[in-house]
Every structure is written in C-alpha cells, then in structure tokens.
Structure 1
Amino acid sequence: MIVEPKVRGFICTTAHPEGCKESIKRQIEYVKRHGQKEGPKKVLIIGASTGYGLASRISLAYTYGAATLGVMYEKPAKENRTATPGYYNTEALEEFLHQDGYYGESINGDAFSREVKEMTIAKIKEDLGQVDMVIYSLAAPRRTDEDGVTYSSVLKTTSVPYTNKSLDLRNNQISEVTVPAATEEEEIATVKVMGGEDWALWIDALKDAGVLSEGVITIAYSYIGPKLTYPIYYEGTIGKAKEDLYQTSVLLNETLKDLQGKAYISVNKALVTQASAAIPVVPLYISILYKVMKEQQLHEGCIEQMDRLFFENLDHLEEELDEQQRIRMDDYEMLPEVQEKVAEAWDYVTTENLSEYADIKGYWEEFYHMFGFHYDNIDYTKDVEL
C-alpha cells in the first residue's frame, strides 16, 4: 500500500518501512566513516529500537564490531496498519548487521516484565555467554511492575502550576500553556515508570544469572536542560524520576564492585524524540536550540551524540565526568554562548516570527524522519510491503 504520514499532535500513527531503512542506512554510514577500534564486544541494549538506544546499538556495532542484543516493545504491521517505526528500524538494522557479518538479535516484549528479563538472560547464555556492556534507554508512558501493579507517568510540576510559552505542534502556533502540579501519587508513579528501579532489577537479574562479565559497564540516559525548562523538567515529575535514576547509578556501582564494573548516567542533549515531543514547553525550546546550535556549527542528532560518546569518550570516561560523576554529553548545549542566544530568542519569539528565531523546519524534518518520512531519495508514491 502507499504509506503517508498521519500526524496527530505530537505523534505520527504511520511509519514507512523503506524510509526507516534509509534512516538506519544513513546512521550506519555516519559511524562507518571513522573505522573501528577496540572496545565492548557483547552488548545488551534495553530500549533499542528508537532514539538514543537505537543510535547506541548502531554506534557500538559499527565502532567495535560488537554483538548486540536489543530489547524493545514494538508492534508489527497488521492488515492496513503499518508497524511502529521501531519495528521497521530493528528489522532494517538486523538485516544490515547480518549482511556485514555481525551478530544482531532482538527480543520484542515488555522490558519491565520478569518474563522478558528471563528470556533475555536465556538468549545471552545461549548466544553470547556474557555481556560486557548494558545500555538502559527505556522511555515508556506506563509500567506494570512484577507484582502486576500498573503505574502511569505524568509531565507535571512538583510544586505550583507553571505557565510559559509553548509550541502547539498541531498548527505551529505559539501559545501560553499552564502545566499543573502533580499529586504525591502522580510523583510516585512517574518515578516508578521513569526512575531507576527497573534498571536495578535488570542489573540484579543479569548479575545473579552470571551473564555480566568482569569489568562490565552499564549506562543509562538522562537529561537536565537549562533553567528555562527546570519547572517542567529538572524540577518537575520527570526530573524527580531522573534524580532517582542517578541515585540508582550510585547503588549499582556498589552492586558491580565485585565485578570491577561501573554504572554511569550519561546526560544527553535535547533532541526531537517521541518522548520529548510530548512535553509542554520543550518542543519550542528544542526548535530554538537547533537554530542556535546549527548557526554555531555545534548541532548533533542522536547518532552524532552516541558516536561521540562511544568513539571519542569511552576510552577515558572517568576524565569526562562532572562533580556528580555523570557523563556530560550535553556539554555543547549548555555552553554559555548557546544558552544566552536561546534565552534571548525565547524572549522575542512569537508565532509571526517563529522561523526567524527557531528552526521549525528542522524540527519537523527530524520529527518526520523518526517515522521514515521526508527522505529525498525515497519515492513515497510507490506501493510498499508493510
């Protein structure tokens, strides 16, 4: 069938298989440009099908020749409905990996469940023996824990309601939005979904099963952002969850001590992802940030960030840590000369001058690319197999 983008607010309900494959191909080509080096050889990526998790998998496979096992929760095509983009991404990546002689397999299921953890451990034992790196890159709106209790996350403040400018993605209009304060129950639920509890459960299960190698490294991804977004992010419910994720890294360093292993938080740059598009205020900030960073030739997408992390920084991670022992891949974003320009543009931006102060075209290009659309070498008028 002919597949066209169907956008509703901040989500697209269709994905193009050939476009997703093109996206994977371009990311692989980017990583291949610098050749290979020694590093991790057997890697588990939890949350491996989109965004930073997907870029990590590509970077690790093509930088180190690493065997990668991905865990994701994606839906295949059904009747006239396309598969999710992560499904097509994974299918395409594994095709390329196998063509290039690399191990690449995936487990499709709820990563929060005990069942998927056990399936993953069995797969590692069968195919890899042990893993020397575990990437934790889950972004989910809800979680059913191992006791069967379901928690849903919320994007709210933790004190008083917060009002600021926001970009309405339905019409590219700037309006004022008020983000309400969360209840105590909502705060707890958000930490349950987006905090570090499940990361710890994964590491404990993998360690108990004997599938973590000596010197294993585990990395989880986080975000801080500028003071402009603090009320909705860093000081909001999602920020509470990210603080819990950080505290989990401290505990995991104790857990992994007898293996001489290490747990890190990597604080990454703000990017267009399915998760970030849903957060009030943030899409406008990102579109302004893109314009400023492109003008200063500092812009990076997911693959550029992960390539810099794994090709340039992995050999000397300890030298790259901040005072809280976090990896700071948001270093370009947080440069004073970047943030000063962003703050200045924020004060002046309106619906009428949006393209002057924000890279709204670049924002939407990246948005459509996530779903396999807007690639100039793909003929979107052709029938494709779903």
Structure 2
Amino acid sequence: MNERVITPLHRGFLFLDAHPTGCRAAVEQMWKSVAAPRCSAHAARRPTVLVIGSSAGFGLAATIVALARHRAQGVGVCLEKAPARRTGTAGWYRTAATADLASQADLPFVFVNGDAFSDTVKQQTADVLNRRFGPVDHLIYSVAAPRRTDPDTNEVYTSAVRPIGRPHTTKTLAFDDGRPVITTVTTKAASPAEITQTVAVMGGADWQRWITTLAARGLLADGITTCALSYIGPPLIERIHRKGTIGAAKAHLQDTADAWNALLAARHGGRAFISLNSAAVTQSSTAIPGIALYLGLLRGVLGDAMASPTAQMVELWDQLTGRADLRTDPQGRIRLDHRELDQATQDTIAGRWHSATNDNIASLADLDWLTSEIHRLYGFDVPGVDYDTASDVDIPWPATAD
C-alpha cells in the first residue's frame, strides 16, 4: 500500500496527478444517479456490449449506464497509465471503481488496457469476447486521442485542432492560476496535411476497423447496433469545430456510419448511428479553444437543465435498446443536443459571449461549476471526500482472467 495526500497540481487544464478516492467517489455517484432497470421484454436477455473509450467522458458514462441500468455484460477498452512516480491516470482509478461496482452487482465485465487503434488490442478484445461473452449486441465508439498509428503502414498520424481556410481568433479561458480568466487566442489555418491527418485520427477509419475485426471473428450479433459518439456544436465555435479540422473528421465519421448502416442492415439486420451529444466538460473538450468559455456560459444559461454525460447516455441507451422511441434527424443522427441548440438558448449565450469581460464574466457564466467540473475530471472537488487524508495510489488494474 502506498498512501499519500494528493493535491491538485496542474498546468492549465491538465492536472499532474489524479485522486484515487475522489475518482472512485465520482464513479459511485454516477452509478447511483442511474435509475434502476425496469422490467420489460427487452430485459429477457442480458446484452453484450463493447465500449471503445470506456474510462473517461461519454465513454465512461456509456459504460456505467450499460451496467447499472441495462445489466449488461461485455468489455471496455481504454488506454491508461499505472501508478509510478506520479499517481495513475484518472481513468485508471475510474476503471478500477467501475469494475468493482460491476462485480458487486454480479455483472461480468472485462476491461482491456491498451491502444484501441492497434490490431493487437482489437484481437485481444475479440479473444475475450469469444471466450466469455459471444457476439456483441451493442458497440459504442468514443475515442478521443491526439495521434494514431496506422496498423497497415505504421505511419503515425497527429491530429490538429485548427480552422480551415483562414486563421481564427476567439475568446477563450485560461486556467493557469486556478481561476478561469478570459483571454484571446489566434489559431492558424490548417494545412492540407493537417486536415488529412486529423481525419485519419478522428474520423471513422478506426471505428470501421473495429467492426471489420469483429465481423471476421463472427462476433457481430444479429441486430447489432453500433454508435459513434460525436458533437456538432453551435455557430459560436463552428470555425474551430464544425468548419475546422474536427468538422472534416466528423464528416468522415458520418460517411462511415452511413456506409455501415447499409452493410449491417443487409448482413445482420443491424444499424450504425452517430449520436450528437450535448456539450460537457471532458478532458478532450477543454483542449479546444473557446470551448471552456462556451461551457461556462451554457451552464450559466441552462443551470441544472444542462444534461450531464450520464443523463445523456441514459437517453441514448434507452433509445438503442428499445426502451424509448428512437429519435433521429433527417440525416439519421441521434440528437441529444436539443436543449443546448435551442435557438433562444443560443441567442442568450451569444449575447453573453460578445459582452463578456473579466469584470462581468462571473455574472454571465457559472465559473464555480466549470472549475469544479474540471477538478472532478481528476478526482478532486468530489463531495464527501476528505482531501486531507492520505489515499492509496497503488490501485491494481481489474483482473481480466476468467
């Protein structure tokens, strides 16, 4: 046992350590917030699920909801670092907590720690499915990573969050001194190579490779449903998001969904979707210029009506499993962003965005909530945790053996 008192040291939005007890408490609170399973015809057989990107953000929420609400079995895949000189990553501790809760609920679920982009991890995951669970009923794809190695060529692609066509200047929040401060940042336009590489990392190529791998191993169940989690965002941030390199990658993701929806329907009676989620504070979203300011303003306008990732994943899973009617837009996308993109809401946020200064931002945005959410990503500022007490950092990875 290696116990120590852990303090929230950080560089901007990136924290150097994670708090094991706080990460566990955050997962427990997410689990408790999910309504107990309801009796229905859909509960006759336990679904087998595969969540790619299961340790953070929407992927973590999707995993917890699948377990706590739908009594699922299956596999979660993520890439996390073990404790060493620093603590383990927050996702390491969140995964250990999720595994413990699943075990307590008698829900068989295995976590594979490795690079989801690699064929080795894909085959390792397929081996676990083949040995323990059988074909996958639901595959959720929620991967956010800065780079990807192409398994065929070994070329390393690096994503770039940039506008396309011309530079973009935007308001944003700096977080260097523990309190968000409005500043301005200019991002240069993406080169053709940066667009191509960002699509290679964040587009649909890896999602497609996962589906192809499972199909080759006979691990796609009849009626398979797969869904990639995405975000479209409002006009305020479209130059850096929807109309930037990220948008090009998301367009490729949509093309992948369309192609696989037709193929899965023909071969397995299955479906492929994109889920457009509502904005949330995640480790990946805070890296995008302007997003943190937008999130604070969004919370300031919506308050508690702003849906958490867990609440959104309840809505998504209920639709995917037939507990609720499936609601898609004309492009066939599942929309969970209706409250955020309501026109009146966006008009109010836009007005606050343009008038925001460091003198009045506290009255326009919920900075206390934003700061707390950023801390919670790493297990800090979680209610009920005594941060003056030493915490054991040497938490083992959940066992993957039978």
User: If the length of structure 1 is used for normalisation, what is the TM-score?
Assistant: 0.96
TM-aligned CA deviation for residue 314 of structure 1:
4.4
Q: Secondary structure at the match of 1:264?
A: strand
C-alpha distance in structure 1 between counterparts of 2:39 and 2:115, whole Å: 33
Which AA in structure 1 matches 2:192?
A: E
How far apart are the structure 1 equivalents of 2:115 and 2:349? Answer: 38
Aligned partner of residue 305 in structure 2, secondary structure: coil
Counterpart of 1:4?
Answer: 7
Match for residue 208 of structure 2 among 186, 191, 200 = 200
**Does residue 1:86 correspond to 2:68, yes or no?**
no
Query: How much does 1:35 deviate?
Result: 4.5
Q: CA offset at residue 68 of structure 1?
A: 2.9
Measured in 1, the distance between the counterparts of 2:39 and 2:158 equals 41
Cα distance per residue 1:42-68 (max 9 Å; x no partner)? 000000001000100110111111103
Matched, 1:150 2:156: yes
C-alpha contact 2:297 2:364 (8 A) present in aligned 1: yes
1: CA distance, partners of 2:320 / 2:346: 24
1:221 and 2:229 equivalent?
Answer: yes
How many Å separate the matches in 2 of 1:36 and 1:181?
A: 53
Q: How far is 1:313 from its partner? A: 6.6
Q: 1:101 aligns with which of 84, 98, 106?
A: 106
Query: 1:180 aligned to 2:184?
Result: no
Amino acid at match of 1:223: Y
Q: Deviations over 1:237-280 (max 9, x none)?
A: 01110111011001111221210010000000111111111111
Following the alignment from structure 1 to structure 2, what is the Cα–Cα distance between the partners of residues 385 and 176? 40
CA contact (8 A) 1:173 1:351 kept: yes
Whole-Å separation in 2 of the counterparts to 1:338 and 1:204: 41
1:10 shift after superposition: 1.5
- Amino acid in structure 2 at the alignment position of 1:293: L
Mapped contact 1:36–1:63 kept (Cα < 8 A): no
| SS of corresponding position for 1:32 | coil
Pair 1:302 & 2:279 matched = no
Alignment partner, residue 246 of structure 1: 254
Displacement of 1:290 in angstroms is: 0.9
**Is 2:223–2:269's contact at 8 Å kept on the other side of the alignment?**
yes
2: CA distance, partners of 1:371 / 1:137: 19
Runs of 5+ unmatched residues, structure 2: 394-402
Q: Does the 8 A contact of 2:171 with 2:290 survive in 1?
A: yes
What letter is aligned with 2:243? E
Aligned partner of 2:399 in structure 1 is none
1:211 paired residue number:
219
| Deviation for aligned residue 1:381 | 1.2
Residue 263 (str. 1) matches residue 272 (str. 2): yes
The answer as to 2:166 corresponding to 1:160 is yes
SS of aligned partner of 1:135:
strand
SS of residue matched to 1:64 = coil
SS in 1 for 2:201: helix
1:260-299 to 2 correspondences below 5 Å:
260-294=269-303, 297-299=304-306
Counterpart of 2:284 in structure 1: which amino acid?
A: A
Identify if the C-alpha distance between structure 1 residues 36 and 371 changes in structure 2 by more than 3 Å, giving closer, same or farther.
farther
SS in 1 for 2:77: strand
CA 1:317–1:152 in 2, change beyond 3 Å: closer, same or farther?
farther
User: 3-state SS of the aligned residue for 2:170?
Assistant: strand
Instruction: Check whether the contact 1:57–1:68 (CA below 8 A) recurs between aligned residues.
Output: no
- How far residue 17 of structure 1 moved from its aligned partner, in angstroms, is 0.7
In the alignment, structure 1 residue 315 sits paired with structure 2 residue 318: no
> 1:169 maps to which residue?
175
Q: Deviations over 1:185-239 (max 9, x none)?
A: 0000000000000000000110111011000000001111111111000000011
Tell me the amino acid that sits aligned with residue 360 of structure 1: L
Deviation at 1:317, TM superposition (A): 7.2
Structure number with greater CO (CA < 8 Å, separation at least 6) is 2
- Deviation digits for residues 359-384 of structure 1, max 9, x if unmatched? 11111111111111112311111111
The alpha-carbon distance between structure 1 residues 334 and 385, as it changes in their structure 2 partners (threshold 3 A), is same
Q: Which of 15, 20, 26 lines up with 1:17 in the alignment?
A: 20
- Going from structure 1 to structure 2, the CA distance change for 1:34 and 1:358 (only over 3 Å counts) comes to farther
- The alpha-carbon deviation at position 75 of structure 1 amounts to 0.5
1:225-240 correspondence runs (5 A): 225-240=233-248
CA distance in 2, matches of 1:116, 1:312: 29
Give the whole-Å Cα distance in 2 for the aligned partners of 1:123 and 1:383. Answer: 36
1:33 is displaced (CA, Å) by: 4.8
User: Which runs of structure 2 are paired with 1:25-36 in the superposition (5 Å)?
Assistant: 25-33=28-36, 35=38
Q: Which residue of 2 aligns with 1:348?
A: 355
When structure 1 is superposed on structure 2, of 188-197 and 334-343 the one drifting more is 334-343
Residues 128 and 319 (structure 1), Cα distance of their counterparts in 2 relative to 1, 3 Å cut? closer
In angstroms, what is the RMSD of aligned CA positions?
A: 1.5
For the residues of structure 2 that align with 1:361 and 1:234, how far apart are their CA atoms?
Answer: 28
Match of 1:114 in 2: 119
Look up the SS of the partner of 1:320 in the other structure. Answer: coil
CA contact (8 A) 2:318 2:324 kept: no
Q: Determine the C-alpha separation between the residues in 2 that align with 1:60 and 1:328.
A: 19
